A and B are shown apart, each in its own frame.
Chain A
Amino acid sequence: MNQEQLLKEVNEIFKDVLDNEDVVINFDTVASDVDDWDSLNHIQLIAAIEKAFRIKFTSTEIYQFKNVGEMISSINSKLNP
C-alpha cells in the first residue's frame, strides 16, 4: 500500500471515529485543522488506526506527530519494515 492509499484509509477512520462524513485530511493536516480532533479523540484515533492496520505506535510517537503526513509515514514504516 502506498502513502496515498494509506491516507485514504486513514481518512475513512477519521470519518468513522469523529462521526463526520465531511472530514478531509491530507499530509499537511494538523489537529487544529479538524473539528473535534482533541486529545480524547486523538486517543480513539490512535486506537482505531492501530486496530485497522494491526500495528502499535509507541508512546513517544503519539504525541510527536507534527501532522497527518508523519502519522502516515510511521504506519508505512511499520507495515513495510
Chain B
Amino acid sequence: MNIKPFNDLKKNLKRLSSLNKEIRVAVLSDSSSQLTVNALKGYGAEFNVKYEIFEADYNQIDMQVFDAGSELYRFAPAFVIILRSTSRLMKYFYKMDHDERGNFADSQLQYLEELCATVSQRLDCAVITNNYSEINDSVFGNFGLKVMSSFAYQLKKLNMKLIDLSVNRKDLFLLDLNSMIARAGHNGSFDPKIYYAADMVYSIDFLPYLAKNINDIIFAVSGSFVKCVVLDLDNTLWGGVIGDDGTDGIQIGSLGNGKIFSELQLWLKQLKARGIILAVCSKNNDDTARQPFISHPEMELRLDDIAVFVANWENKADNIRHIQSVLNIGIDSMVFIDDNPVERALVKKEIPEIIVPDLPEDPAEYLLFLHSLNLFETASYTPNDSERTRQYQEEAKRRNVLKGFANEDAFLASLDMSSEVRAFDPFSVPRVSQLSQRSNQFNLRTIRYTEEEVKRMTGDPDYCTYSFTLKDKFGDNGLVAFVVLKKTDSETLFIENWAMSCRVLKRGMEWFTLNCIASDARLSGVRRIVGEYIPTAKNSLVKEHYPSLGFGTISENRYCLELADYRLEKIIHIKKTSTPV
C-alpha cells in the first residue's frame, strides 16, 4: 500500500454510487474545504466506503453548531469533523487587545468545549477536530516561547489544553494535524498562492494525508483497525540472512547496519506493548529462525513477544492464512511487512484484503515510511491491552491440551473456568467500549459504543448491563463479553447488543451468559427476552446464535425467549464468581 496522490483519489468520485458502505459525515471548516471533502470521498472509495458528506458553507462553524435548527442537525451525521486553521487563529489573535492575549488559549478552549458539548447534546455522533500547526509567527523570534502573551506561546498552550479536553471527552477525537504537518514540512503542506487565492490552507499534495488520517480515525471508531503485524525476518527484522550469516553474523545492534533494525524492533515492541499482536512468517528452518530470538544478545524482540511463529518453506500466503486462523481475526486487520517485493506481490495477489506496505528499498527508510502510513490508529486503549500477546500464547497451549481429550466436555471441565459477572462500572467502561469496536464476528447487532455512550448506560434505569470476564488454569482473558439489555416494557427485555471476543469461542460462554441474564430477568419479573441479529459482512458466525440458544423465531433475524419455557440444556463448566450490583 501507498498513499495515492490527490488526482487519483479524485478519479474515484466517478464511482461513488457503486460503493457498499455508507458513512454520514459533516465537515465544518473555517477555510475552504471543497478539495478536502473530495479527497476524503476519494479515499473512502479505496475501501468501498461511500462518504455521504454535508459540507457547511465556508466559515459557518458557529452557525451550524449553535443553531438547533441548522442543516447540520437535520443531516444527522455519525461524525462531525471540525477543521480550524492556524492562519485564521493568527488573524483572530492579532485583532485582540494586547491585555487580553494572555487568555487566548483559555478562551479558545472554552469555545471548543462549547462546540463539542452542543454537538454531542444534539447528535449521537463522534466529533473529530484538528490540533494546530505550531508555526512560530516570528514576532518575538525564539524568545516568543518565553512571552506568555505571544502567539507562539498561546498556540502551544492551546494545543496542550486541547489534548486534555480530548482525554476527558470520550466522544472527541483529535486529528494530529500538527504532527502531520511536521512530517510533511510546513512548506510541503501549505501553498501561499492557493491560500491567498482560494483560502485553502492545505496544498494539493497534502490533501491525501489529511484525508487518510481523518479516514483512519473514522474507521477505528467504526471498528475497523489493524490488530496484527506479520513480520518477515531476513533483511526485515535484521540485516542479512540468518541461514547464511548465522546468529553472530546478522546485522542487529552494533554490527554493520544493525542500528536500523534495532530501532525498528524497538518500535515493534512498543506496538506489542500497546496490544498489537506480532507474528513471524519467514522462509527458513524453524530452529534456525528462532535462534537469534533466543541467543542474540542485541535482539530487542524475544520469542515471548511473538504470538505466532511460522518459519518453513511453504508459500507465505498460506502461512499468513494459518496465522489468521490461529488468531481468529479478520484478514483485513492484518499488516504484512516484508522487504522482498516478490513475496509482497504474491501475498497481495492471493490475499487482496491484507495491508501490505511497499517498503522503500533502503532499510534506513523503513521506520519513517511505516510511521507515515499511520497503520495503527485505534479508538481506545486500556492497560490490559499489553496482555493480549500472552493471552494468544495461552490459547495456543489450550489448543494443544484439547488434542489430548476424547470429548469437549471433559476438556472444558479440566480448564477450571470462572467468570466475574458485573453490571458496567467505571472500571469496565473503557474495555466494554473497546470490545464493541473490536469484535466483528461475534457481534449480534454490531453497535459500536464510545466510552461516553457506555458511561451513559450505567446510570440509565432503562438499561440493564452485563460484563463477563473469563479465567482458567492457563490464564486470565480479562473482560471477554458484554450484553446490553433495554427494557422495552415491564415484561420485555430487548438485547440491544451482545458481543464476545472470539478468543473464548467454544467454551460454553454463550450458555453461561444467557443463563445469568435469564435467571436475573426471571427474578425481576420479566417474561421474555427479545434478540435480533443484524447481518454484516463479518458476523455470519452468529447467524444462528439465538435459535441455537432456544429462542423462538418472531420474524426474519428476530427471536424471542419466553422465560417460562426456558431451562438450561447444557452443562456449564464456568463458575460464577460475583453477581451484578
Contact = CB atoms under 8 A, between A and B. Distances in A.
Interface of A: 16-17, 19, 39-40, 43-44, 46-48, 51, 56-59, 62-63
Contact of B7 (A48, A56, A59, A63): A48
B192 interface: yes
Contacts of A17: 7
Contact of A43 (B11, B14, B192, B194): B194
Interface of B is mostly: helix
A44 B193 contact: no
Given A40-B35, A47-B203, A59 B6 contact: no
A42 B35 CA distance: 12
A16 B204 CA distance: 15
A57 B10 contact: no
A57 B192 CA distance: 12
Contacts of A46: 193-194
B192 A44 contact: no
Contacts of A63: 197
B55 interface: no
B191 interface: yes
A59 B150 CA distance: 30
Nearest to B6: A44
| Chain B interface residue bracket vs A | 10 to 19
Interface string B14-28: 100000000000000
A37 B193 CA distance: 19
A69 to B, nearest CB: 21
Contacts, number: 40
A51 B203 CA distance: 12
Contacts of A58: 193
Contacts of B35: 40, 43-44
B198 A39 contact: yes
Interface in B30-70: 34-35
Nearest to B38: A40
A43 B10 contact: no
Given A19-B14, A59-B192, A43 B7 contact: no
A48 B10 CA distance: 13
A71 B196 CA distance: 20
Contacts of B34: 40
A58 B200 CA distance: 16
A73 B278 CA distance: 57
A25 to B, nearest CB: 18
Given A43-B197, A63-B197, 8 more contacts: A19-B10, A19-B14, A40-B34, A43-B35, A47-B203, A48-B7, A51-B205, A59-B193
Which 7 residue pairs across A and B have the least CB separation, nearest first?
Answer: A47-B204, A59-B193, A19-B11, A43-B194, A43-B198, A59-B196, A40-B34
18 contacts: A16-B7, A17-B7, A19-B10, A19-B14, A40-B34, A43-B35, A44-B6, A44-B10, A44-B35, A44-B204, A46-B194, A47-B194, A47-B203, A47-B205, A56-B193, A57-B193, A58-B193, A59-B193
A62 B197 contact: yes
Nearest to B32: A40
A37 B205 CA distance: 20
B191 A47 contact: yes
Contacts of A39: 198
Nearest to B14: A19
A62 B7 contact: no
A7 B348 CA distance: 39
Contacts of A48: 7, 204
Interface in B202-235: 203-205
Contacts of B191: 47
Contacts of B205: 47, 51
A48 B191 CA distance: 13
Contact of B204 (A19, A43, A57, A62): A43
A40 B7 CA distance: 13
Given A40-B34, A47-B203, A59 B197 contact: yes
A40 B391 CA distance: 53
A44 B35 CA distance: 9
Contacts of A56: 193
Residue of B11, B193, B204 with most partner-chain A CB within 10 A:
B193
A15 to B, nearest CB: 11
